[in-house]
């Protein structure tokens, strides 16, 4: 288990608290510990228990939250694009049709989290290119039907039905987020504090592009128009961990 510095630990606790994430007191902590241990490699179980048993209540809750975060892998990333390419490509195509000209829009649906008592929310970033000037509006953890979310939807001439359509397209592609552009950035899954994604290009990559998008860290060229991407979080690996 990778050790977290005290400063990083405090910062992450502050972020969770500031975002309104409070540990669900109805969660049985002992049962959650058992579930976490079940998924940990044998050599990591002792380290986790030592850290957990020596922590105060708040730190214990933080550890339970961190180790209950979703997990994914490069293997799952590849399996999905191989078995589900048509739906991933359809997501890219249909989403492009929904985004107005001169706009680049990034959207991610954050599922409900019962461990820290948060509802489903949306991260939304809108960039408008006009007269060679780019204006960006970005918000995180927007609640459905909230005033701020509705204001941003009006900018795009979107509504709740548009969100339902996008959510269905993402579900069919087994993905969680998308951003349009010359290369669509499609988020496949969160893993800890990192994220596995696809870059889908309109044309096959050139030799120069392949060299750039195959650095063995955040980019791995897969084939033709597809690049695999891993984005690290505040802690943990910053390159593909697997």
- The secondary structure of the chain as a DSSP string is -----HHHHHHHHHHHHHTT----TTS-HHHHHHHHHHHS-HHHHHHHHHHHHTS-HHHHHHHHHHHTS----HHHHHHHHHHSHHHHHHHHHHHHHHSPTTEEEEEEEEPPBTTTTB--EEEEEEEEEETTEEEEEEEEEEETT-HHHHHHHHHHT--HHHHHHHHHHHHHHT-SEEE-SSEEEEEEEEETTEEEEEEEESSPPPHHHHHHT--SSSEEEEETTEEEEEE--SSS-SS---
pLDDT at 100 exceeding the cut of 90: yes
Q: Are residues 163 and 58 in the same domain?
A: no
Q: Output the pTM of the full model.
A: 0.85
120 falls within a domain: yes
Average pLDDT over every residue of 198-212 = 97
Question: Is 160 among the domain residues?
Answer: yes
Q: Give the residue, 173 or 60, on which the prediction is more confident.
A: 173
For residues 112 and 38, membership in a common domain is answered with: no
Residue 102 has what pLDDT?
Answer: 97
Do 198 and 108 fall within a single domain? Answer: yes
Q: Are 58 and 132 contained in the same domain?
A: no
Lowest mean pLDDT across 94-98, 161-165, 232-236: 232-236
* All residues at 6 or more sequence positions from 224 whose CB lies less than 8 Å from its CB, including other chains: 204, 205
Indicate whether 227 pLDDT > 90. Answer: yes
CA separation for the pair 228, 205 (Å, rounded): 13
Residue 221 lies in a domain: yes
The more confident residue out of 59 and 141 is 141
Mean pLDDT of 235-242: 85
Diameter over CA atoms, the chain:
59
* Mean pLDDT score, 148-167: 98
- Which of 49, 67, 85 corresponds to the end of one domain? 67
Number of domains observed in the structure of the chain: 2
Q: What is the CA radius of gyration of the chain?
A: 20
- Determine, yes or no, domain membership for 142: yes
Name the residue with higher pLDDT: 115 or 160: 160
| Pair 52, 108 in one domain | no
Residue 104 lies in a domain: yes
Same domain, 107 and 145: yes
Domain limit, last residue, from 16, 32, 67: 67
143 with 215, same domain: the answer is yes
Domain membership of residue 91 (yes or no) is yes
> Is residue 222 very low, low, confident or very high in pLDDT (cuts 50, 70, 90)?
very high
Domain boundary among 24, 51, 67: 67
Question: Is residue 222, in this structure, part of any structural domain at all?
Answer: yes
pLDDT at 2: 46
pLDDT at position 9 over 50: no
Q: What proportion of the chain, given as a percentage, has pLDDT over 90?
A: 64
Claim to verify: residue 98 and residue 54 sit in the same structural domain = no
Per-residue model confidence as pLDDT tens digits over 38-90: 888 888 898 889 889 998 888 888 888 888 888 999 999 999 999 999 999 99
- Residue from 149, 109, 147 nearest 126 by CA: 149
According to the model, what pLDDT value does residue 4 have? 46
Per the structure, the complete domain to which residue 26 belongs is given by: 6-67
- Tell me, yes or no, whether 45 and 83 share the same domain: no
Q: Based on the domain organization, do 84 and 62 belong to the same domain?
A: no
In a domain, residue 239? The reply is no
């Amino acid at each position: 288990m990778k050790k977290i510095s005290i400063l990083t630990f405090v910062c992450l606790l502050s972020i969770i608290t500031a975002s309104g994430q409070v540990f669900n007191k109805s969660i049985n902590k002992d049962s959650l510990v058992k579930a976490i241990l079940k998924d940990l490699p044998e050599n990591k179980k002792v380290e986790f228990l030592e850290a957990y048993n020596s922590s105060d209540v708040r730190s214990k809750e933080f550890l339970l939250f961190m180790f209950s975060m979703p997990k994914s892998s490069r293997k799952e990333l590849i399996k999905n694009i191989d078995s589900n390419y048509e739906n991933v490509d359809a997501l890219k195509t249909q989403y492009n049709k929904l985004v107005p000209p001169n706009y680049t829009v990034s959207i991610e649906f954050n599922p409900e989290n019962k461990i820290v008592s948060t509802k489903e929310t949306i991260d939304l970033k809108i960039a408008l290119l006009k007269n060679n000037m780019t204006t960006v509006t970005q918000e995180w953890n927007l609640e459905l039907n909230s005033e701020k979310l509705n204001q941003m939807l009006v900018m795009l001439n979107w509504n709740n039905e548009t969100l339902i359509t996008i959510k269905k397209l993402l579900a069919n592609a087994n993905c969680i987020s998308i951003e349009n552009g010359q290369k669509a950035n499609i988020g496949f899954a969160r893993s800890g504090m990192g994220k596995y994604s696809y870059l889908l290009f309109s044309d096959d990559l050139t030799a120069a592009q392949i060299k750039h998008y195959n650095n063995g860290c955040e980019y791995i060229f897969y084939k033709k128009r597809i690049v695999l991407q891993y984005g690290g979080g505040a802690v943990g690996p910053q390159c593909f961990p697997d």
